[in-house]
Amino acid sequence: MNNFEPEILSQTCINNSTSQAWSFVSAPALHPMKVTINVNRSGTDSGLIFVAPYTSYGATMIGQTGALIMDQAGNPVWFKPLSNRYIQNTDFRVQYYKSKPVLTMWQGTISGTQSANPNLPAGDPEPGAYFQIINQNYKVIKKVIAKKGFTADVHEFTITNRNTALFTAVKQVPVNLTPYGGPSNGYFDNYSIQEVDLQTGKLLFFWNVLDHVNPADSMLPASSAKSSNNIWDCFHVNSVEEGSNNTLLISMRNMWAIYKIDKKTGNIIWQLGGKQSNFTFGRNATFSWQHDARHRSRNKISLFDDACCASSSSPPQCQAHGLILRLNFKTMTANVYKTYYHNPALYVPSQGNVQKLSNRNQFIGWGQEPYLSEFKNDGNTKKDPSLNFLYDMQFPSTNLSYRAFKNKWIGLPLYPPSIAVDLFCKSAIVYASWNGSTETVAWQVLAGPSHNRLSVVIISTPRIGFETKINVNSCGPYFQVNALNSCGKVIGTSRIVHVKMK
- Tens of pLDDT, residues 461-497: 999 999 999 999 999 999 999 999 999 999 999 999 9
HSE (side-chain half, CA atoms, 13 Å) at 13: 17
31, part of any domain:
no
450, part of any domain:
yes
Domain-terminating residue out of 408, 437, 470 = 408
- One domain, residues 393 and 301: yes
- One domain, residues 450 and 490: yes
Mean pLDDT of all residues in the chain? 94
262, part of any domain:
no
Q: Are 262 and 247 in contact (CB under 8 A)?
A: yes
- One domain, residues 403 and 477: no
Dist. CA 393–CA 126, nearest whole Å: 30
Strands (E), 34-136: 36-40, 48-51, 66-70, 76-81, 88-97, 100-108, 130-134
Give residue 314's pLDDT band: very low, low, confident or very high (50, 70, 90). Answer: low
Q: 405 exposed, middle or buried (CB, 10 Å; 0-12, 13-18, 19+)? A: buried
Question: % helix / strand / coil in the chain, to the nearest 5?
Answer: 5, 45, 50
- Tens of pLDDT, residues 260-298: 999 999 999 999 999 999 999 999 999 999 999 999 999
- One domain, residues 334 and 381: yes
147, part of any domain:
no
372, part of any domain:
yes
Q: Is the dihedral of CA 400, 403, 409, 411 positive or negative?
A: negative
HSE (side-chain half, CA atoms, 13 Å) at 328: 12
pLDDT for residue 2: 35
Q: Which domain holds residue 435?
A: 418-498
- Whether the ω angle into residue 417 lies within 30 degrees of 0, i.e. cis, is no
Does residue 10 surpass a pLDDT of 70?
Answer: no
Dist. CA 380–CA 359, nearest whole Å: 17
- Please tell me the total count of domains within the chain: 2
Dist. CA 403–CA 90, nearest whole Å: 7
- Tens of pLDDT, residues 123-144: 999 999 999 999 999 999 999 9
Q: Are 20 and 51 in contact (CB under 8 A)?
A: no
Give residue 425's pLDDT band: very low, low, confident or very high (50, 70, 90). Answer: confident
Q: What is the DSSP string of 135-156?
A: -TTS-EEEEE--STT-EEEEEE
Backbone angles phi, psi at 116, to 5 degrees: -70, -20
Domain-terminating residue out of 366, 386, 408 = 408
Domain-terminating residue out of 341, 374, 408 = 408
Dist. CA 416–CA 1, nearest whole Å: 8
Strand partners, 15: 62
Give residue 11's pLDDT band: very low, low, confident or very high (50, 70, 90). Answer: very low
Dist. CA 456–CA 161, nearest whole Å: 48
304, part of any domain:
yes
Q: Are 468 and 461 in contact (CB under 8 A)?
A: yes
pLDDT for residue 8: 33
- One domain, residues 387 and 325: yes
- One domain, residues 394 and 487: no
Average pLDDT over residues 306-317: 67
pLDDT for residue 500: 87
- One domain, residues 404 and 456: no
Does residue 3 surpass a pLDDT of 80?
Answer: no
**Identity of residue 60:** T
Q: Are 51 and 493 in contact (CB under 8 A)?
A: no
- Angstrom distances, CA of residue 104 to CA of 139, 157, 395, 408: 11, 8, 22, 14
243, part of any domain:
no
CA 152 to chain centre: 15
- Tens of pLDDT, residues 55-114: 999 999 999 999 999 999 999 999 999 999 999 999 999 999 999 999 999 999 999 998
Q: 261 exposed, middle or buried (CB, 10 Å; 0-12, 13-18, 19+)? A: buried
Q: For the chain, what is the total number of helices (H) and then of strands (E)?
A: 0, 35
pTM of the model: 0.95
SS3 for 386-435 is: CCCEEEEEECCCCCECCCCEEECCCCCCCCCCEEEEEECCCCEEEEEECC
- One domain, residues 453 and 374: no
